[in-house]
Structures are given as C-alpha cells and as structure tokens.
Structure 1
Amino acid sequence: MPKKRVPVTDLAGGVATARIEALRAREAAAFAAARPKTRAALKKGARPFLNGVPMHWMRDWPQPFPLLVDKAAGAVIEDIDGHVLDDFCLGDTGSMFGHSPAPVAKAIRRQSRRGLTFMLPTEDALKAGALLQKRFGLMEWQIATTATDANRFALRVARAVTGRPKVLVFSGCYHGTVDDTMVRLEAGLTVARPGLVGQAADLSATAVAIEFNDTVALDRALATGEVAAVLTEPVMTNSCMVLPAPGFHKALREITRKHGALLIIDETHTLSSGLGGYTRSHGLQPDIFVAGKAVAGGMPAAVWGMTAEVADRFRAYDAARPAGHSGMGTTLSANPMQFACLRATLDEVMTEKAYARMEAGAARLARGLTKAIDRHGAPWHVVRVGARVEFICHPVPLTNGTEAEAAHHPALEAAIHAALLNRGCLIAPFHNMMLVSPVTKRKQIDRLIAAFDGICAELFA
C-alpha cells in the first residue's frame, strides 16, 4: 500500500505535529523521572513565589518544571539531582564568557571587602571608563544596571536633544522591556504587541514600527520629522535571527543623518560578534551605543555612551532645563561592584584571544548543525553571528521580523530543546539560540551536534 501522505496543515517546520507531540511527551516524562530531588524541593519551597518561580520567564523553559541549579562553572551547569549539562544558553548571553570568569570572581571577592554601594565613584570606575573607550569607541559613557534601563535613558537623551517625541523600532525587535519598543507593524499600522500586561498608554503616540531591512519605509517614516531616534540591534536576535541586508547599515546611517534622527545601536546580544561588538567589527557609527548582560561578566550592569557631539547637545539642554528630577538613573547603578566587574571583564575577559576561540567554536557548531540538517533533508537553515548560532526551522534566510515570527514554531522548538536537555545540552528557551564561550570545549560542541543529529533523525525518519 502507498504511504499515507500527511496533510500540510498537520506539519510544523516540516515535521508532523503528532510526531512533535510524541517527542515532547516522552522527553517531559524522562525529565521528570530523572529529577526526584528537584521535584521534592520545588514542592517544599516554591510556594512563596508567584506561580512557583521568582521571575515569570522561568516558566518559559520547555520542561514540566524548572531546573534547580546547584552550581555552574565554565560552560557547564549542574542541577541538584547531579545532572551535568553543557551550557550553550549561558544565561541568555549574560554569561557569554563562561560562568564566573576567574578575573571577575577575584574582583568580586576584592570589592566585597571594601563595600558594596555608596553612590560615589572608585578608582575602578576611572579605569573602566578608559577601557570602555578602548573597547567600544571614544564616547562619553554612563552606567546602568540593565540594558533596559540604559535604553530608556538613551531615549530620554535623544528626545531631549532633538525635541521630537517618537522612537522608530523594527517590528520584532528586542530592547529589553522598554515600553516604547513593545510595538509591532500590523496591516501597515504601529500597534501594541499582544499580551502586554496592564498596558494603559497608546504606544503608537511615541513609537513607530517598520520592517527591518526596509530602507524605503525608513526614509518615509523619518521624513515626518517626529522621530527622535532609531533604536535597533545590528542583527535581529530575539525572534528567529535576521541578518542585515547588504548595504542596510550604510543606508540606515545616511537616512538618519538626512532627517536629523539619532541612531542608537543596542549591542546587548550582538556583543558576540567580536571585540567591540558588531559596531566595531563592521564599522558602524552610532550616535549612542548600548550594551548590557555580558559586559560585566555576569554581574548586573549595562553601559551606554554618546558621541561628543550628542554629549555637547545634551549638556546645553541640561543646563537650560528647570531644576528637578531627570527621570534617569537608579540608586544602585554605577555601584563599586559593577565597576570592579566591568573593569575585570573589559581588561582580562573580553579579549581578542577569547573572541578567536568563540569564533572558531561557533563556526564548528554551525558547520555541524548544517550537515545534520542536510543529512536528514530538514527544511531548515543555520545562521551565525560571531559566537551566536541559531538553527531556524524554515528553509531560507529571513529578511524581517514578520517573516521571523512566521518561521517560529513554538511546539517543535520546545520539543527539540527538551530532547537536547535530556541529552545533556542546554540551549536558550525562548528561541533556538546557542552561544559558544571562550571556555566551551570542542567535545561539548560535538556532543551538541550529535544530539541534534539524533533528534533530527527521529523527527524526519
């Protein structure tokens, strides 16, 4: 008898939905059975937290209940049941250089004996300032605790110096939880993203969304004279990864200057691109530069810097404004522990040698994943930006956020993530991102490739 053809509507990423569900159910059961200590500990201790977790996105992992981590070192995590995992999530970039790099751990021990916070700078702050200029460019810098805060503050400066109300973002973008960026393009209109909690303000009053790589729409939107700044990642990262089209960044810079809008480059994820981030690696010229997560080796810290020209404009604005609260800054930002870790990371961890190792490992991973995809005839592809690698369950590269959203198959990806974890490989829960750190070993990369290959063999048998 001829083989029964599966209806196209019963496929996700080229895989039968029944097969995806079978994989998900089997891997969930295996995960739960292997972690009796974790289950018991959560039953006893998770009740005080809303929905059993201290931060809501800890429920977004594909497992039936969260891992409880006992310890992490280098590129390895161990849970309380003794399972050792090769870590390619690395705190969703926060530990991109590995868990607790030795210079950062040493800096924490040293500073902990000297005080944790006192609203005044230290000599480490002065050293860190020089290192920021060395690594990222001759800008005038400020320190925040998260990249979300840094982006908020950068937008205030942009609006102050331009006198304009709006920010332009690309549909599907990622800039933390900045309110103005929680918009998308829908039927040609800027609308709030679905699912926002407690949203009261009309976000389209202060933001406009267009598609990434669409320079015609960019020129048209900026021609209104309402846009203070374009806030963008160099590469879209928090959906299925989207690369800039050839010439896009050159046109972006020319069009923003033509219309008097500032260009803010958020490198929170794309620090993986190379020393100095994508900006330095590809010669970009932002007016304001933002980075967070990995910049202090895993300690909560973010940096944002502006060119001398923007700094002069802001100083003039600041001198003329009425006395009162600026709406910028948080009490624990720029604390001495941040500076100790920032200095150690910029000087001893974030080095050319480290990036060379990351680049080589990521290239090996991308090659291996691509071979597995080709071997099994999966209609997928692999994208790499420096140390950041992603497999995308779609046959061809993507050009914008709308395409990336359509290429995202949550059930399929969750099943793959769960199967990888049960085979000792942890990747980011929100999408198919994998990071290679300077301390990730070749054998770890090869184990991930082998696990991925085995899962593909089952899905496409």
Structure 2
Amino acid sequence: MIAVDRARLAGLLAAEQGTYAAANPRSRALYEEATNLFGHVPMTWMNVWSGGFPLYLDHARGARITDVDGHTYADFALGDTGAMAGHSPEPTRKAVAGRAGDRGGLTTMLPTADAQWVGAELTARFGMPLWSFTLSATDANRWAIRLARLATGRPKVLVFGYSYHGSVDEAFALAGPDGTTISRPGNVAPPVPVGLTTRAAVWNDLASVETALAHGDVAAILTEPALTNIGIVLPEPGFMEGLRTLATRYGALLMIDETHTFSTGWGGATRAWGLEPDIFVIGKSIGGGIPCGTYGLSEAVAAAVTRHTDAGDADIVDVGGVGGTLAGNALSLAAMRATLGEVLTPEAFEGMIDLATVFSAGVQAAIDEFELPWSIAQLGARAEYRFTSPAPRTGEESAAAADDELDAYMHLAMCNRGILMTPFHNMALMCPDTDAADVERHTEVFREVVAALRA
C-alpha cells in the first residue's frame, strides 16, 4: 500500500474546487441570495458540500438529478436513503396525486384503510406484529424508547459509539474511560449529561455490551444491524446473535433501527440475517420521498405497555409524549402503500444488490491497481469506501479514519464528472432505476480520479 501524496492532493482539490465554482454559477447565486435562511440553507446539514455551496435542485426522476445550472447527474446519494425507491417513482407519484386530488384529505386525524395494508406488509417483511406510524425514524426512535422504558421500568438506553439514530438525544454517546459514557464531539447542547440517559458500548465488542448491561438499568439496546453513518462497519460473525442473547439474559429489549440497513434486502437485515428484535424502527425510504417512519412492537412489549396504560401509570393517547398530530396521516400512508407494494419489491432488491456488487468490484479493482490503503464494504444495495485498510471494525476506528481533504477531493471530482455521492460520506446506494451504465460510468470516473492521485 502506498500513502497519498498530500501536496499533490492539495493541488488536485484546489483545481476541482475551481471547476465546481465555475460550472455552477446559478446554484452559487441562489445560495448567496438565501439571506433569510440560517446558514443560507433550509437545513444546516445542507452546507456539507465540498465546493463551498450546495447544488440547487431543478428536477429529479429515477436515478437522475438535474440542477439549476442544467447539469444532470447519476445519483448514488438518493437523498441519503430517503429516495432509495428512486426519485418520484410512478406508483408513489400516482398515489400521492390521488390523495391530494379527487380523493382529498391529506391529514384529517382519521385512519385510512392504507394503514392496515402497510402494517400487514411490514409484518411480512420484518416480523413485528404491531405497528405505529411517525413522520421520521427519529420520531419512531424517540417514541419507542419511551415505550421501552415503560415496558421494562428501566431508565437507560444502550447505544454504540458512532451509530446513527437520527437526532435522538440518547444516541450521541461514546464509551468513555472506566465504564463511563461521554458525549460525542460536536453534540449540540444536550438537555442533560448523556451519562444520565445512556450507556455506550463499542461495536463488535460483546464484552463491552455485557459490562454495560450488568448495571441492570438498561431498558433497550438500540442498534443498527451494521453501522452506516460513520461509514459501513459490518457486524462480525456472531455479534448480532450475541446481542440477542445478552439482551435476554439481562432483561433488556433489543431495538433494531433499519433506517439505512433496509438496503440489505426486501426484509432488511432483520429477515436476511434472522434477527429477533423486540422493537423495530424504520423510516425514510418506505415512503418514496414522502416523510414517514414507523416502529413495530412484539406482542410481549405491547402487552407490557398495555398493562401500564390500563393501570393508569401512563397515557399514550394524550399527554404521554408518544405520537403527533401529523403522524399516520393519509398522504404518508398512501405513499408507503404504493412504495412498498409496487416499487421496493423483491425483484427490485435483487437487481439493486447485483448492481451494488458490480459497483463494489469496480472500486476494489481501482484500489488494488493503484495500491491505495483503502477498503470498501457492501451492505446489500449500498456500498461505501473508506480511506483505510483493513476495513474498520468499530465506530471509533471508522471515525479515526476520516480524511477531510480526501473526502472533499473525491466528492468534488465525482460531482464535476456527473456523479453524485452522499455528501456526508462516500456512500453509494442503488435504486430500482439505477442501471448498469450508471455503475460503469462510476467505475470509469473513480479510476480516473484516484489515478490522478498517483500521476
């Protein structure tokens, strides 16, 4: 393996930044004109674009995005999973248009028949028998954590360092020295010290999990089946099975968040790997771009919650902090029914996973050819390369492998050549409309931009 020449990298990055600025004058102007927006963007994370300003959307369809400067891109970011079904898939578009049109009633506080259809479909895919709907996976995690605490009578949640569960306060935690729990760097104004609500463990380290659970105060282990937002960090053989065993042994619930790992297949990693959660959470992708989320409960967890509510210990109807006026609205449910029923089908996943396998092979070939100290991991229809080898086995190792200059160079170089990657990290996701030509083009561009590091 040969290290990257940092002086050469700096020169290449400067050149790509200049190309990006020159090619996108309309996006830059719109960004500069957005003086009534905090940070000049609708959400501050939209500033995570290496060129100094984000591209502005004109239109998107399938696996393509066109910006306001007229550039069309092969989109492997796909809304950081929110558009895993592709942009505006036709069945979802028709369902949304129908609900907004002649059928009417986008949100009414009344249930629709779509809700039971979606619940039954989710049960078929993920196994949980009972479901409740939200507007995001963050909401689903928050509300499910409350129910886990109610069901177990315990105050704390166990999370893994650098796992991703949206903006849930309890999740921004790392394992500190001597069994302590500390806040992740950059955590914005946590309401209380994170150690009061959370115990943190190290991914792929069952001993650290057992040490945390031994205190007897953990209501639930909240985990992804693989770390995703710090770069894909896969579970080692036996790790997920070990979590199930330890949760049962110490009286904690196993709460699995598949918001990103749904890329594993039609039933996510839960079905593909035979996982057995007590609570299940998913969001983003199941609505085809319409805000939605959901959590599923086992019969045992639901019964424990019901015992408390029947006894008057908790109110999950009004003041209990579980639910929201727009959650389970008619528009979201119509979108979920169409997306799950007609777009993200078993056949679609088969094609998406096959393309991700070809994508990964193309990246690995270039890594090998140019002897880069990099690695790539695949999670079904999702793949991600890291600037380290061997691949990280913990969130802490993955965080330590971050390289801002290489990130900026790779994102800008790809973008300037018509390829969009997830701006937060080097993740690529396939959708049902991604085709072999998109992947072949990525392979060509990836080889070109990494070759420049060696020239």
SS in 2 for 1:268: coil
Task: State the distance in 2 between where 1:406 and 1:452 align.
Answer: 23
The code of the aligned residue for 2:97 comes to R
Deviations 1:23-42 (A, max 9, x none): 22111110111122223333
Distance 2:292 2:321 in 1: 19
The alignment yields a C-alpha RMSD, in angstroms, of 1.4
Query: Are 1:344 and 2:335 matched, yes or no?
Result: no
Aligned with 2:263 (options 272, 283, 307): 272
> 1:33 maps to which residue?
22
* 1:295-322 CA distance string (max 9 Å, x none): 1111110010011111111111111215
**1:407-436, CA deviations, whole angstroms, 9 ceiling, x for partnerless residues?**
111221121111100010000011111001
Q: Secondary structure at the match of 1:15?
A: coil
Are 2:199 and 1:208 equivalent residues in the alignment? yes
Given the alignment, which residue of 329, 339, 357 partners 1:335?
Answer: 329
Secondary structure at the counterpart of residue 65 of structure 2: strand
Aligned to 2:400: 406
Q: TM-score w.r.t. structure 2 length?
A: 0.96
Q: In 2, are the aligned partners of 1:73 and 1:99 still within 8 Å (CA)?
A: yes
1:185 aligns with 2:175: yes
| 2:352 alignment counterpart | 358
SS at match of 2:428: strand
Q: 1:199: how far off?
A: 2.7
Contact 2:169–2:190 under 8 Å retained in 1: no
The 2-side partners of 1:344 and 1:302 are apart by 15
Question: Partners in 1 of 2:231 and 2:25 — Cα distance?
Answer: 34
Matched letter for residue 451 of structure 2: A
2:340 aligned partner, one-letter code: L
Partner of residue 117 from structure 2, selected from 118, 121, 127: 127
Residue aligned with 2:111, SS: coil
Corresponding residue for 1:231? 222
Aligned to 1:262: 253
Contact 2:129–2:298 (CA under 8 A) maintained in structure 1:
yes
Q: Quick one: which of 73, 83, 104 aligns to 2:61? A: 73
Q: For 1:237-386, what aligned pairs fall within 5 Å after superposition? A: 237-320=228-311, 321=313, 325-386=319-380
1:151 matched residue in structure 2: 141
Any conservation in 2 of the 1:240–1:407 contact (CA below 8 Å)? no
Q: 1:454 is matched with which residue?
A: 448
Question: Is contact 1:162–1:228 with CA below 8 Å preserved after alignment?
Answer: yes
Change (3 A) 1:285 1:65: same
Match in the other structure for 1:104: 92
Who is 1:17 aligned against?
Answer: 6
Equivalent residue in structure 2 for 1:171, among 139, 157, 161 = 161
Q: Report the Cα distance in structure 1 between the residues aligned to 2:105 and 2:53, rounded to whole angstroms.
A: 37
SS at match of 2:230: coil
CA contact (8 A) 1:97 1:297 kept: yes
Contact 1:378 1:460 in 2 (8 A): no
1:351-391 Cα shifts (integer Å, max 9, x gaps): 11100110110000000100011011101111001001001
1:456–1:308: structure 2 CA closer, same or farther, 3 Å change rule?
Answer: same
Distance 1:424 1:388 in 2: 19
Q: Distance in 1 between matches of 2:197 and 2:31?
A: 42
Name the count of aligned residue pairs: 449
Q: Does 1:429 align with 2:428?
A: no
